[in-house]
């Protein structure tokens, strides 16, 4: 939610762009769950190669830990590593329970894309988790690689100043999107009330995405980066049930229902 | 258990302070121990509308900064025994308010009062956020006008995400819609938003509709909350709204334009 009014800079349609990228990350495979054993050992190695890991983001490998998750002192490990200027950013491997325990301390599971860590038993890919899920969150169900994420459903009105972002999935709003509200999805957007705010579908490049609205009355519509503001919608069937899609570089507005 | 009620709107000049004064007085008239806090630090209007501006010694900022005790700053109303006012400071700005300070004041007031009304300043800045932070219920004041409805929509979003109840994931703040300055004749002519349109956009329960009335300005200028003017439409509409707030069923009144008789048309005279 953006609370502050925008400064007087020229308005930009996109305050951000979402792009996939591959990173080479170091995996720190924990063989011992005790910070008092792990941290000094890293410290020793670190002293022999000063600066080697400095501020390096590392992924904690959990596959070799053979203790129950509650015996792993994640806060202690995180603090100890941070003390050595090593920044743990996530986890890989290990049991779902173990990954979940780490998630409670802000370390989400990270899926290894290339399978370079070959000796590691392939980690079950998981749905990307929010940065700080409640500690009681159930373990994310294992899914086959590349599986669809569940659609995000919003039952409350999206009010002025509110922004809903369905990351990597479709979005369904069963209430209205009010003027000044913004709904964004990497997939399709369905609004079963009036769409009076902004709807941005298809993320940056999904030109197949569509927008459906029960009562089409938007401020701005965008699919895959192509957009139209209200002024440019003079020919669109305002107030009707409408489907919006991209044909080539043109947006099409078709009445439905 | 004391109820903390914020009177808020986002937009300025829609009638927050008038409504706070009327509601506080109405609740107190019905025997509820009520205190109304002016959060508009730096501007300070509530004491004027409540007619106690000449009795202000200390204010909310003095209490927060430990320069006065809460009891020294509270002004007991002379007309309604169960009503108190905690005025704002005119010489400070809203940065003088702190979350901890406000919390301490509200906790202390909760020991004595049934209802703690927080008269929010306009905007969505610090003063307004603090006024709504501790709320159990919210009265959202809206005029039948597009920008006012938009700002109310915005403040509802803020209530749902930045109040203490929202942060602690408790039951959400109970929201009430109060439409003020409603002019049925202008609505009929299409110059103002229809009630249904406002309700459709904001989709929260309607607590009351206060008709546009000269009696409101008169009441403000004389420092008498308009609810004390039982003759006026606005005063009666506020009394109805207070009754509904306390759970009574009351039909909505003053929604249709007044049909003036020939006599009134000839000799002028406008709706009181």
Cα separation, B40 vs B198, in Å, equals 26
Q: Give the whole-number percent of chain A exceeding pLDDT 90.
A: 33
- pLDDT band for A67, please (50, 70, 90 cuts): confident
Closest alpha carbon within chain B to A180: B150
* CA-based nearest distance B93→chain A, Å: 19
- Contact call for B153 and A156, based on CB within 8 A: no
Which residues of B fall within a CB distance of 8 Å from A156?
A: 160
CB B204, CB B157: distance < 8 Å: no
- B195 occurs within a structural domain: yes
Q: Which residues pair with A247 in a beta bridge?
A: A250
- pLDDT band for B64, please (50, 70, 90 cuts): very high
- Contact call for A176 and B201, based on CB within 8 A: yes
Q: Which residues contact B43 (CB under 8 A, 6 or more apart)?
A: B88, B90, B121
- B271 occurs within a structural domain: no
pLDDT at res. B235: 97
- pLDDT band for A77, please (50, 70, 90 cuts): confident
- Say yes or no: B153 contacts chain A, CB-CB below 8 A: yes
Residue with tokens 């705010």: A197
- pLDDT band for A49, please (50, 70, 90 cuts): low
- Contact call for A161 and B203, based on CB within 8 A: no
Cα separation, A184 vs A166, in Å, equals 6
Across all residues in chain B, what is the average pLDDT? 93
- pLDDT band for A52, please (50, 70, 90 cuts): low
pLDDT at res. A4: 45
- pLDDT band for A78, please (50, 70, 90 cuts): confident
The CATH number given to whatever domain includes residue B45 is 3.40.50.300
pLDDT (average), residues B151-162: 95
Residue with tokens 């139209």: A228
Cα separation, A178 vs A190, in Å, equals 14
- B270 occurs within a structural domain: no
CB A173, CB A158: distance < 8 Å: yes
pLDDT at res. A147: 59
Structural domain range at position B118: 3-263
- Contact call for A161 and B157, based on CB within 8 A: yes
Total domain count for chain B?
1
Determine phi and psi for B263, rounding to 5 degrees: -60, -50
Cα separation, B4 vs A1, in Å, equals 25
Calculate helix-pair angle for B146-162, B126-133, nearest 10 degrees.
60
pLDDT (average), residues B136-140: 98
- B73 occurs within a structural domain: yes
Residue B65: CB atoms within 10 A of its CB come to: 13
- B272 occurs within a structural domain: no
- Contact call for A161 and B201, based on CB within 8 A: no
Which residues of B fall within a CB distance of 8 Å from A178?
A: 150, 153, 201
Which residues of B fall within a CB distance of 8 Å from A181?
A: 153, 157
- B51 occurs within a structural domain: yes
Residue B108: CB atoms within 10 A of its CB come to: 14
3-state secondary structure of A27: strand
pLDDT digits 0-9 by tens, A20-33: 666 667 788 888 88
Q: Report chain A residues touching chain B, CB-CB < 8 A.
A: 1, 3, 156-157, 159-162, 175-176, 178-181, 196
B14 is in an annotated binding site: yes
Q: Which of A118-122, B1-5, B122-126, B172-176 has the lowest average pLDDT? A: A118-122
- B249 occurs within a structural domain: yes
- Structural domains in chain A, sorted by start: 26-119 (3.30.70.260), 152-255 (2.160.20.70)
Q: What is the pTM of this model?
A: 0.68
Cα separation, B220 vs B226, in Å, equals 7
B127 is in an annotated binding site: no
B4 is in an annotated binding site: no
Residue A131, Cβ density class (10 Å: 0-12 exposed, 13-18 middle, ≥19 buried): exposed
pLDDT digits 0-9 by tens, A153-166: 999 999 999 999 99
Which residues of A fall within a CB distance of 8 Å from B154?
A: 159-161, 180
Tokens of A147: 């599986």
* CA-based nearest distance A45→chain B, Å: 43
Which residues of A fall within a CB distance of 8 Å from B11?
A: none
pLDDT digits 0-9 by tens, B225-271: 999 999 999 999 999 999 999 999 999 999 998 776 666 666 655 54
pLDDT at res. B205: 97
Name the DSSP class of B184: H
pLDDT at res. B266: 63
B187 is in an annotated binding site: no
pLDDT at res. B272: 47
Which residues of B fall within a CB distance of 8 Å from A1?
A: 157, 161
Report ipTM (2 d.p.).
Answer: 0.75
- pLDDT band for A107, please (50, 70, 90 cuts): confident
B12 is in an annotated binding site: yes
Residue A194 pLDDT > 90: yes
Q: Give the whole-number percent of chain B exceeding pLDDT 90.
A: 89
Tokens of B247: 């759970």
Tokens of A129: 């988790």
Closest alpha carbon within chain B to A156: B203
- B209 occurs within a structural domain: yes
Q: Which of A146-150, A240-244, B83-87, B105-109 has the lowest average pLDDT? A: A146-150
pLDDT at res. B270: 52
- B154 closest CB neighbour out of A156, A180, A196: A180
pLDDT digits 0-9 by tens, B72-113: 999 999 999 999 999 998 888 888 899 999 999 999 999 999
pLDDT (average), residues B181-188: 95
Sign of CA dihedral B168, B170, B172, B174: negative
């Amino acid at each position: 939610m953006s609370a502050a009014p925008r400064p007087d800079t020229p308005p930009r349609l996109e305050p951000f762009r979402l792009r996939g990228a591959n990173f080479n990350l170091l995996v720190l495979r924990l063989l011992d769950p005790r910070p008092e054993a792990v941290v000094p050992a890293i410290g020793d190695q670190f002293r022999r190669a000063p600066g080697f890991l400095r501020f390096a983001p590392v992924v904690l490998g959990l596959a070799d830990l053979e203790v129950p998750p509650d015996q792993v002192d994640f806060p202690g490990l995180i603090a100890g590593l941070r003390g050595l200027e090593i920044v743990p950013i996530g986890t890989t491997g290990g049991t779902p329970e173990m990954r979940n325990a780490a998630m409670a301390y802000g370390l989400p599971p990270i899926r290894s894309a290339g399978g370079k860590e070959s000796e590691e038993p392939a980690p079950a890919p998981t749905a990307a988790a929010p940065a700080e899920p409640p500690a009681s969150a159930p373990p994310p169900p294992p899914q086959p690689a590349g599986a669809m994420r569940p659609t995000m459903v919003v039952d409350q009105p999206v009010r002025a100043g509110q922004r809903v972002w369905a990351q990597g999935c479709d979005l369904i709003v069963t209430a209205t999107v009010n003027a000044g509200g913004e709904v964004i999805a990497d997939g399709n957007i369905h609004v079963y009330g009036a769409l009076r705010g902004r709807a941005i579908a298809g993320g940056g490049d999904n030109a197949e995405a569509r927008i459906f609205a029960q009562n089409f009355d938007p401020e701005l519509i965008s699919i895959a980066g192509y957009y139209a503001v209200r002024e440019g919608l003079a020919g669109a069937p305002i107030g009707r049930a409408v489907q919006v899609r991209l044909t080539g570089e043109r947006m099409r507005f078709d009445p439905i229902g | 258990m004391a109820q903390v009620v914020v009177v808020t709107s986002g937009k300025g000049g829609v009638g927050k302070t008038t409504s706070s004064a009327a509601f506080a007085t109405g609740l107190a008239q019905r025997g509820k121990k009520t205190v109304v806090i002016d959060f508009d630090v730096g501007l300070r209007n509530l004491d004027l509308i409540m007619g106690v501006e000449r009795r202000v010694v200390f204010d909310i900022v003095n209490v927060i900064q430990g320069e006065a005790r809460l009891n020294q700053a509270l002004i007991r109303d002379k007309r309604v025994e169960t009503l108190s006012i905690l005025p704002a400071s005119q010489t400070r700005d809203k940065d003088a308010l702190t979350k901890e300070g406000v919390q301490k004041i509200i906790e202390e007031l909760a020991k004595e009062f049934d209802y703690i009304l927080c008269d929010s300043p306009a905007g969505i800045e610090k003063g307004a956020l603090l006024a709504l932070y501790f709320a159990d219920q919210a009265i959202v004041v809206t005029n039948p006008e597009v920008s006012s409805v938009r700002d109310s929509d915005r403040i509802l979003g803020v209530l749902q995400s930045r109040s203490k109840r929202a942060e602690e994931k408790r039951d959400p703040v109970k929201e009430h819609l109060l439409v003020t300055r409603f002019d049925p004749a202008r609505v009929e002519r299409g110059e103002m938003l229809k009630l249904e349109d406002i309700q459709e956009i904001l989709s929260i329960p309607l607590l009351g509709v206060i008709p546009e009335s000269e009696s409101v300005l008169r009441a403000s200028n004389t420092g008498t909350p308009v609810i004390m003017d039982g003759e006026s439409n606005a005063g009666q509409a506020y009394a109805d709204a207070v009754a509904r707030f306390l759970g009574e069923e009351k039909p909505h009144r003053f929604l249709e334009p007044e049909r003036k008789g020939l006599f009134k048309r000839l000799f002028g005279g406008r709706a009181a």
